[in-house]
Structure 1
């Protein structure tokens, strides 16, 4: 009975925090709470020590309530800049307040410099909805705010034969309401991506795109991407996130390895042969010439891979 009570306390706490956060009643920052995970070991130890004791049930309830109360206090009192900077590996990106001296526009584009066959994109954005496509063969990149609620600026440089792009996006409407942005990429270029964003919704079909690195640093977000077969020897995907939903659609014959060290997360990998010691692999991974290496790190995520 006491186990059901303590489990119920946890479910009620998590459900209420997520609900209040999603409807903007509270601004709960998840990442600062992660460093207190060793306290879970203390709670488990207390539960074992007082098991079958006269007042054991009351002690279990009290210890769990105190722990969750502390977590709630940390989550609602930590400023947004603290957890976003930590999540983005101290890259000093101020999500939602991107200022670099350039004006923000509703439409930006970058042309392809002559002789360029490889490009790198660093995308920094706050809350919003972003759709990625790979259909534009005339430009290297175009980005358009579909409702004029988002502003962007784009910088382009050449470094050792690689065209490097930095795309910043943030709400520019008077009420600071986030909007939708369509980002169209050139499919004939080999890409290297770094996506840094806050509580955003990112979708897209990148099945025609070739990339060698995809680094994703995000807060509580939804990410739904369709990828094609790997076109480089090892295409690496690194994800650092918390309380997010991540869904990749990958061809059924693609070779994939997934390394996951996430806490309190739900993982679903379709078509994988081995799943042990935090690593999942497809049957053809070791023998394939081209493959995906995926690594996900974070907490309270839902990570799903489906095959098509």
Structure 2
């Protein structure tokens, strides 16, 4: 009976913390609590020691309540490096470490250089809602925040006859998940895209954007993207994420290969000829010169490809 009580305490605690955090009632630093995981071993040891002893159930319940109380205290008082930001941090990019002395704006853009045929965009953002679409005119890339919850800065350069753009977007309020950014990308050049996010909602239509590489590094996210047909040899799409819901809309005649992790994941690929051992292919993949190579790295994902 005491095992059911302690389990119930854990479920109630975790459920309430997640609910209050998602509703922005509290700002709980999940990441700060992870380093105390060895205390779980201590709790398990105490539970075994007092099993079947007088007052053992009270000791079990008391120890679990004290442990969860400590976790709650740590998560609430530790200076907030938002847990999604830590899921996001990869390579040498840390959104929380952006230079605060650099002016942050609600709108940034870079002009199209007509002498350049290939461009690179690196977009680094924390938690929020990001919408991507193609852009016409003489603007290469533009990003606009719909409110005051997200600030951005931009750097542009030329290297090896390539126009490079880096945009950093940083939440400026505690309501990180409500921050909205619209990103426009020119359909003129050939792109290398690197999109780095926290726990975000990512949506958009990039059917007219030509790219040879699309790299997405994100925390636990919802992603819904519409792609056009591959136009430049083998266009590579690399996604590194976990516990995410991913939906790609891709034209029916596009040739596609998907390499994915099946660990705790659910995958659904429409009109694919083969799907086994973590590799799925369309029937026309080998014969086409222009194709998508998609690689999904992570676990506990739901990955869906539908055709239009």
Using the size of structure 2 for normalisation, the TM-score is 0.74
Q: Distance in 1 between matches of 2:176 and 2:264?
A: 33
Which position in structure 1 is the counterpart of 2:265? Answer: 265
Q: 1:122 to 1:286 in 2, by over 3 A?
A: same
* Gapped regions of structure 1 (runs ≥ 5): 34-65
Whether 1:245 aligns to 2:208 is no
Q: Distance in 1 between matches of 2:18 and 2:231?
A: 39
Q: Would you say the 8 A contact 1:207–1:227 is kept in 2?
A: yes
Q: Distance in 2 between matches of 1:176 and 1:232?
A: 36
Q: 1:86 to 1:21 in 2, by over 3 A?
A: closer
Could you tell me how far 1:99 is from its partner in structure 2?
2.1
Q: Distance in 2 between matches of 1:263 and 1:80?
A: 28
List per-residue Cα deviations over 1:239-294 (Å, max 9, x = no partner). Answer: 11111111100001100000002521111111111011110000000001100000
Which position in structure 1 is the counterpart of 2:210? Answer: 210
Whether 1:188 aligns to 2:188 is yes
List per-residue Cα deviations over 1:187-208 (Å, max 9, x = no partner). Answer: 0111101111101111100001
Which position in structure 1 is the counterpart of 2:274? Answer: 274
Q: Distance in 1 between matches of 2:20 and 2:175?
A: 21
Which position in structure 2 is the counterpart of 1:200? Answer: 200
- Which structure has the greater CA radius of gyration? 2
Which position in structure 2 is the counterpart of 1:117? Answer: 117
Q: 1:206 to 1:274 in 2, by over 3 A?
A: same
Cα RMSD between the aligned structures?
3.5
Which position in structure 2 is the counterpart of 1:41? Answer: none
Q: Distance in 1 between matches of 2:82 and 2:91?
A: 10
Q: Distance in 1 between matches of 2:19 and 2:29?
A: 11
Q: Distance in 1 between matches of 2:284 and 2:189?
A: 27
Which position in structure 1 is the counterpart of 2:91? Answer: 90
Q: Distance in 2 between matches of 1:174 and 1:284?
A: 48
Q: 1:173 to 1:20 in 2, by over 3 A?
A: closer
Could you tell me how far 1:218 is from its partner in structure 2?
0.5
Q: Would you say the 8 A contact 1:144–1:183 is kept in 2?
A: yes
* Gapped regions of structure 2 (runs ≥ 5): 36-63
Which position in structure 2 is the counterpart of 1:136? Answer: 136
Whether 1:295 aligns to 2:295 is yes
Could you tell me how far 1:114 is from its partner in structure 2?
3.9
Tell me how many residue pairs correspond in the alignment.
Answer: 266
What secondary structure does 1:230 align onto?
coil
Using the size of structure 1 for normalisation, the TM-score is 0.74
Which position in structure 1 is the counterpart of 2:126? Answer: 126
Q: 1:297 to 1:262 in 2, by over 3 A?
A: farther
Could you tell me how far 1:102 is from its partner in structure 2?
2.3
Q: Distance in 2 between matches of 1:244 and 1:289?
A: 31
List per-residue Cα deviations over 1:190-240 (Å, max 9, x = no partner). Answer: 110111110111110000110011111111111110000001101000111
128-137 or 280-289, which deviates more: 128-137
1:1-308 equivalences under 5 Å are 16=15, 19=19, 22-23=22-23, 26-28=28-30, 88-95=89-96, 98-99=98-99, 101-173=101-173, 178-308=178-308
